[in-house]
């Protein structure tokens, strides 16, 4: 199933506003992401490689640290448990964490570890030239693991959800991942895992795991070259390790969620600049939505929107709550456009709904100045069907029916208002005085009009009943009339 583009944006926005009250425990491998930019104008005489004249450098928290950055950017509080080396990079990590609002870090410092540093070299125009890593890949000592277990136990009762951000450097090795998941499930907290490696048995019991496509292939040994193949691999993995759901991130192709059913989420951006850190943004957003009680498909949709923001940016980027709110407004505008169609387009949409076994309803009107009577009609109409089509009189049609001073709002404005209403699934403007031709073209299963009409007065009623459809007369809300409202405005009484 492909996620509907007109999913209720208001619901997603409400989830976003609740992020600020959430508290998350993040456990995983922290690192320093260092970006080095330079001028590249010649090839080295010593070897066929470019010579980079370094112009500037920057450092950010990477790995699980980037998850924490995203949580802070989204307004949440975060307890962060990780391990670093007794070195300059470890102290740099501590300093960067200390500058993040709402973050309480617990750093296990070890002289036997080297803090991971990923150095990426870029030309000044953004081309990625090289990556160089410094790291220790080893499980924590028994003493180190016991120390982190005590830190986890101290935080578990205070958080709403738990994230395991596994970058394979050692923090979640040696049974520690299993320990954290068991503690979280005992406390009734959702656990979201960004996995690493081929053996996912250590994540058994998690709520959601979020592999990317290549990680899914590595973990299952199955093909992942199509939607169907990804669903099959994700279902195999879900059953094998005993997790509630698998969310597969697919870079520029969006995501696939395998829970109670399979849902494909198309990418929310058309241009991918850099996928670095996108998985960190996904897991932070997904976890905060789940912590707020969101259904998994809605949480995944919000995470997909956040991912679309960061993959459009260079480097280890984050998505703020304001970024996502803006993207939601743009999505809302796109959803409104999706609900507008001409007669031919409407026929195609209705045919597709019928193939899905959905009952199609139809109502019509000028809907010049929207009032509670209109809203009541639309709600009753939507309750009588699975998908509601609204036929909207064109400006020329309204003038012929109502007079030269009507409509007050243009057909485009009226169509946009109609399309923004949740009971409405499709809006079609028609130029005739009656919707008869449109009804004959769409052949709705249910025709709905207000009870101020009698059955014989309903245009197209006989057509709909001739092929087995039915006519519904909706209750009318008294004392509301567009004509009366306009008259009162002219008299200055409103």
**pLDDT, tens digit (0-9, with 9 covering 90-100), for 16-46:** 888 988 999 999 999 999 999 999 999 999 9
Q: Is residue 415 one of the residues assigned to a domain?
A: yes
Indicate which residue of 194, 280, 368, 425 is catalytic.
280
Contact 483, 470 (CB under 8 A): no
Q: Is residue 2 one of the residues assigned to a domain?
A: no
- Per-residue pLDDT, averaged over 350-363, amounts to 91
pTM equals: 0.70
Mean pLDDT of the chain: 88
**pLDDT digit string, tens, across residues 86-124:** 999 999 999 999 999 999 999 999 999 999 999 999 998
Specify whether 314 is located in the same domain as 371.
no
Q: How far apart are CA 255 and CA 263, in angstroms?
A: 8
**pLDDT digit string, tens, across residues 412-424:** 888 888 888 888 9
pLDDT of residue 206: 97
- CB atoms inside a 10 Å sphere around CB 203: 26
Q: How far apart are CA 191 and CA 186, in angstroms?
A: 11
Specify whether 228 is located in the same domain as 374.
no
pLDDT of residue 488: 47
Which tokens belong to 232? 């099959």
**pLDDT digit string, tens, across residues 131-182:** 999 999 999 999 999 999 999 999 999 999 999 999 999 999 989 999 999 9
Q: Is 214 exposed, middle or buried (0-12, 13-18, 19+ CB in 10 A)?
A: exposed
Q: How far apart are CA 335 and CA 339, in angstroms?
A: 7
Q: Is residue 3 one of the residues assigned to a domain?
A: no
- Per-residue pLDDT, averaged over 200-210, amounts to 96
pLDDT of residue 455: 85
pLDDT at 2 over 50: no
pLDDT at 10 over 90: no
Can 445 be counted among the known catalytic residues? no
pLDDT confidence band for 382 (50 / 70 / 90): very high
The domain of 356 spans 339-491
pLDDT of residue 250: 86
**pLDDT digit string, tens, across residues 424-480:** 999 999 999 999 999 999 999 999 998 888 888 999 999 999 999 999 998 886 654
Which tokens belong to 286? 């997904």
Q: How far apart are CA 160 and CA 153, in angstroms?
A: 14
Specify whether 81 is located in the same domain as 121.
yes
- pLDDT top residue among 318 and 398: 398
- pLDDT top residue among 12 and 492: 12
- Per-residue pLDDT, averaged over 70-77, amounts to 94
pLDDT of residue 276: 66
pLDDT at 489 over 90: no
pLDDT of residue 357: 87
Contacts for 263 with CB less than 8 Å, ≥ 6 apart = 1, 2, 3, 256, 257, 297, 300
- Per-residue pLDDT, averaged over 364-390, amounts to 90
* Of 298, 332, 366, the domain-final residue: 332
Specify whether 252 is located in the same domain as 163.
yes
pLDDT of residue 416: 86
Specify whether 295 is located in the same domain as 415.
no
pLDDT at 7 over 70: no
pLDDT of residue 494: 43
Phi/psi for 20 (5° steps) reads: -65, -20
pLDDT of residue 335: 63
Contact 113, 134 (CB under 8 A): no
CA 25, 26, 28, 31 torsion-angle sign: negative
Percent of the chain with pLDDT over 90: 65
CATH number of the domain at 35, please. 3.40.1190.20
Specify whether 363 is located in the same domain as 320.
no
Specify whether 106 is located in the same domain as 234.
yes
* Of 332, 348, 379, the domain-final residue: 332
- Per-residue pLDDT, averaged over 53-81, amounts to 95
Specify whether 404 is located in the same domain as 264.
no
Domain count, the chain: 2
pLDDT confidence band for 126 (50 / 70 / 90): confident
pLDDT confidence band for 233 (50 / 70 / 90): very high
**pLDDT digit string, tens, across residues 262-297:** 988 887 755 555 566 788 999 999 999 999 999 999
* Of 315, 332, 349, the domain-final residue: 332
Q: How many helices (DSSP H) and strands (DSSP E) are in the chain?
A: 17, 18
């Amino acid at each position: 199933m492909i996620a509907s583009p007109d999913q209720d944006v208001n619901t997603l926005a409400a989830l976003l506003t609740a992020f600020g009250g959430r508290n998350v425990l993040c456990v995983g491998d922290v690192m320093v992401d260092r970006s080095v930019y330079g001028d590249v104008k010649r090839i080295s005489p010593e070897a066929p490689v470019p010579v980079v004249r370094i112009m500037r450098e920057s450092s950010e928290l990477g790995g699980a640290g980037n998850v924490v950055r995203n949580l802070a950017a989204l307004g949440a509080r975060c307890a962060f448990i990780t391990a670093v080396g007794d070195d300059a990079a470890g102290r740099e990590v501590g300093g960067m964490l200390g500058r993040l609002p709402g973050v309480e870090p617990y750093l296990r410092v070890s002289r036997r570890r080297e803090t991971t540093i990923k150095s990426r070299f870029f030309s000044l125009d953004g081309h990625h030239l090289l990556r160089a890593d410094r790291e220790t890949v080893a499980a924590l000592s028994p003493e180190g693991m016991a120390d982190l277990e005590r830190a986890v136990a101290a935080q578990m009762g205070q958080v709403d959800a738990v994230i395991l951000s596994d970058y394979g450097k050692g923090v979640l090795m040696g049974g520690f991942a299993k320990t954290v998941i068991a503690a979280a499930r005992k406390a009734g907290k959702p656990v979201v895992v960004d996995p690493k490696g081929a053996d996912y048995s250590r994540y058994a019991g998690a709520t959601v795991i979020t592999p990317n496509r290549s990680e899914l292939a590595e973990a299952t040994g199955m093909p992942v070259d199509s939607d169907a193949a990804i669903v099959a691999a994700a279902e195999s993995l879900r059953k094998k390790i005993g997790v509630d759901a698998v969310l597969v991130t697919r870079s520029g192709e969006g995501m696939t969620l395998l829970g109670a059913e399979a849902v494909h989420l198309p990418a929310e951006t058309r241009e991918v600049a850099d996928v670095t850190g996108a998985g960190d943004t996904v897991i932070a957003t997904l976890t905060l939505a789940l912590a707020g009680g969101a259904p998994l498909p809605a949480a995944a949709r919000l995470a997909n929107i956040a991912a679309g923001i960061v993959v459009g940016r260079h480097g280890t980027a984050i998505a703020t709550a304001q970024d996502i709110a803006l993207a939601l407004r743009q999505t809302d505008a796109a959803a409104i456009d999706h609900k507008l169609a001409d007669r031919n387009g409407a026929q195609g949409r209705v045919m597709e709904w019928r193939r899905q076994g959905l009952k199609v309803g139809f109502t019509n009107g000028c809907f010049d100045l929207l009032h509670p009577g209109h809203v009541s009609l639309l709600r009753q109409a939507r309750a009588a069907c699975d998908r509601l089509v609204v036929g909207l009189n064109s400006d020329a049609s309204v003038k012929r029916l109502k007079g030269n001073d009507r409509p007050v709002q243009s057909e485009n404005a009226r169509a946009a208002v109609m399309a923004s209403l949740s009971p409405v699934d499709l809006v079609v403007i028609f130029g005739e005085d009656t919707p008869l031709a449109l009804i004959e073209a769409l052949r709705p299963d249910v025709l709905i009009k207000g009870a101020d009409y009698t059955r014989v007065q309903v245009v197209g009623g006989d057509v709909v009943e001739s092929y087995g459809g039915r006519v519904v007369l909706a209750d009318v809300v008294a004392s509301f009339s567009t004509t009366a409202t306009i008259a009162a405005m002219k008299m200055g009484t409103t």
